[in-house]
């Protein structure tokens, strides 16, 4: 493709964004809906799980921690395949008819980001617990009561952890492609749409979605940096 064609595609992409193209907006809206839902569910499960692993000692705890750390690098296509087998017609949850729906995409993203949030939460809470263990014991605070206290005390660090999970979810393509099917108007999100439109030669829409996705990633990183700076100022 010539430089002029590239420039025209870029200009058209900017026009789509600035003109609030309905197709582009629909894809972006669905992407945010799926990723935010996945992050919310994963956080509700992973934060207490990570805190519990930090506070309690039990047989097999080391195995669970190693498994969580390993799952942080879980290949997305493997997660997508697992969810596909679970939700397919022959799978145990096949009768629910969730395959190739946004719900299936949420499930896949939860599987991908839950280990990240849980493992990093465990590290944060374990460090705080080591710092405040004697003080909490002298006050007679039980472990169940320690959990919300330490989670709240680590809130700034945990917000950064959650933002990291959101960044992973929003940039995911393999798993959501497998379980969502990239159906126009139903399960087409930014990453899968970029792959499809590029293969079709529709560079303006692919570039427009790419620019929005890049802006989203930059926004998430800026938010994480701001949270970290705020934590340092408040906690000294």
Q: Take residue 59 and report the two structure tokens written for it.
A: 């047989």
Sequence-separated (6 or more) residues with CB below 8 Å from residue 21: 205, 208
More confident site: 117 or 226: 117
Mean pLDDT across 203-211:
90
**pLDDT at res. 84:** 94
pLDDT in tens, 24-34: 999 999 999 99
Buried b / exposed e over 141-168, threshold 16 CB at 10 Å, is: eeeeebbeebbebbebbbbbbbbbbbbb
pLDDT in tens, 140-175: 777 888 888 889 988 888 998 998 899 889 888 889
Please give the Cα distance from 51 to 54 (Å, whole number).
5
The widest CA-to-CA distance across the chain, in whole angstroms, is 72
- pTM listed for this prediction: 0.89
pLDDT in tens, 74-112: 899 999 999 999 999 888 998 998 999 999 999 999 999
- Supply the DSSP symbol for 94: G
Are 28 and 190 in contact, with CB atoms under 8 Å apart? yes
Q: Report which listed range, 36-45, 54-63, 92-101, 203-212, is most confident.
A: 36-45
**pLDDT at res. 49:** 95
């Amino acid at each position: 493709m010539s430089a002029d064609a590239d420039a025209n595609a870029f200009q058209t992409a900017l026009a789509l964004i600035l003109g609030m193209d309905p197709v582009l907006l629909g894809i972006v809206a669905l992407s945010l809906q799926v990723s935010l839902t996945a992050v919310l569910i994963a956080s509700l499960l992973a934060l207490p799980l990570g805190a519990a692993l930090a506070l309690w000692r039990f047989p097999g705890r080391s195995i669970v921690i190693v498994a969580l750390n390993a799952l942080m690098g879980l290949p997305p296509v493997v997660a997508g395949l697992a969810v596909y087998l679970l939700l397919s017609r022959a799978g145990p949850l096949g009768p629910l008819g969730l395959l190739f729906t946004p719900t299936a995409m949420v499930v896949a993203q939860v599987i991908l980001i839950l280990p990240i949030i849980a493992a990093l939460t465990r590290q944060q809470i374990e460090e705080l617990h080591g710092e405040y263990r004697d003080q909490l014991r002298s006050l007679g605070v039980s472990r169940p009561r320690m959990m919300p206290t330490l989670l709240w005390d680590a809130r700034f660090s945990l917000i950064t952890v959650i933002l990291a999970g959101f960044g992973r979810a929003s940039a995911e393509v393999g798993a959501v492609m497998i379980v969502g099917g990239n159906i126009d108007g139903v399960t087409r999100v930014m990453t899968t749409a970029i792959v499809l439109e590029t293969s079709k030669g529709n560079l303006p829409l692919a570039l427009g979605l790419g620019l929005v996705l890049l802006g989203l990633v930059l926004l998430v990183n800026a938010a994480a940096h701001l949270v970290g700076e705020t934590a340092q100022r408040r906690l000294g």
